[in-house]
Homo-oligomer: A and B are copies of this chain.
Amino acid sequence: MTNSVVQVEKTLNPKMKPAFDQLSFGTVFTDHMFTMEYTEEQGWHDPKIVPYEPILLDPAAMVFHYGQTVFEGLKAYVTEDEEVLLFRPEENMKRLNRSNDRLCIPAFDEELALSGLRKLIQVDKDWIPNIEGTSLYIRPFIFATQPYLGVAPSKTYRFMIILSPVGAYYKEGINPVKIAVESEFVRAVTGGTGSAKTAGNYAGAMKAQEVAEAKGYSQVLWLDGKEHRYIEEVGAMNVFFKLNGEVVTPELNGSILEGITRKSVIELLQHWDIPITERKISMEELYEAYQSGKLEEAFGTGTAAVISPIGELYWNDKKITINNGEIGELAQRVYDTMTGIQTGRTEDPFGWRMTVDIDTAVAPSHN
């Protein structure tokens, strides 16, 4: 599939761009968006870039009722040389199709979607902020559109990509966060939808988050849904612990989201010859490591914050302080290297970057 199948209709009313040194996260959107439709007869069709505009949906559209929806999150960065970089975007498209499979949504052509994304970025290239810590957040998402009140997969869907210039995800930057270990609510369980990036997982997680925030914690650490023993994720991030020189992250078990940052950090640690193990790890084990002075570092990994060090865990009335509440050496090194590769400051021995050709003139085309 070539770029040329994606039609472009440019806006006649470009918006004011926000000040790039005052960006928050996910509140401002660019001038255009990518859309594509699915019907049983035509499959995925009509990929195009159009002015950013409201969606018109029947009140019976199934997304409102039965929640068939999947999404992704990735970022584009502009380098000092004005190159535009994506970080492993093909991994996001693959994961989106894996999520589709779990949610009974028909698979799309990943090449085509990537080419649509590149074209969208070309069209809105002036929206990519160029200040340290900023980026263009990219949100591909798919939702059910058939107007039908019956629990069954929808017969029609829409695929969209919207773009948002963003500042740092946490106002505190890479400062360590305090995390409450969740022992009542459950994010996901084996056999459920935890390994898919679907709206319902996030809706279900808000209550625990609200309770934790009221107690002064910024996120929750999720335990497994069966025994409430094994560590799964932290907020909407995967989690890593450094225990006595060895790095451990919970193994993929069907209820954890397979993070692309997680995967990259594992590969980076292997590249550095730092021992990294994917395995089950229980809160008991973590607490024992803490007591015996072996819990050296803890950090979350995810597209939004990249690396988010954990300074304190609160579990069963016990406070676990990690690295004196300060950023660990490893977390800092991983953060610097990951953001260095993402923004083009550091070389990319892994071939993780994809350059978006922004010099290609994007002429408006019409159907």
Contact = CB atoms under 8 A, between A and B. Distances in A.
A147 B26 CA distance: 8
Interface string A170-191: 0000000000000011111111
B67 A69 contact: yes
Query: How many subunits of this chain does the assembly comprise?
Result: 2
B103 A207 contact: yes
A141 interface: yes
A79 to B, nearest CB: 24
Nearest to A203: B67
Given A54-B56, A59-B54, A226-B226, A206 B65 contact: no
Max chain B C-beta neighbours (<10 A), residue from A55, A227, A228: A55
A200 B204 CA distance: 8
A148 B199 contact: no
Nearest to A169: B150
A102 interface: yes
Interface in A138-152: 139, 141, 143, 147-152
B66 A199 contact: yes
B200 A199 contact: yes
Nearest to A54: B56
Given A54-B57, A199-B65, A206 B150 contact: no
A168 to B, nearest CB: 12
A193 interface: yes
Interface in A69-103: 69, 71, 73, 102-103
A203 B235 CA distance: 22
A26 B151 CA distance: 10
A60 B162 contact: yes
Interface in A262-319: none
12 contacts: A26-B60, A29-B147, A63-B199, A67-B201, A103-B204, A103-B206, A184-B191, A186-B190, A186-B192, A189-B226, A199-B203, A226-B227
Q: Which 4 A-B pairs have the closest CB atoms?
A: A200-B200, A67-B199, A26-B149, A186-B191
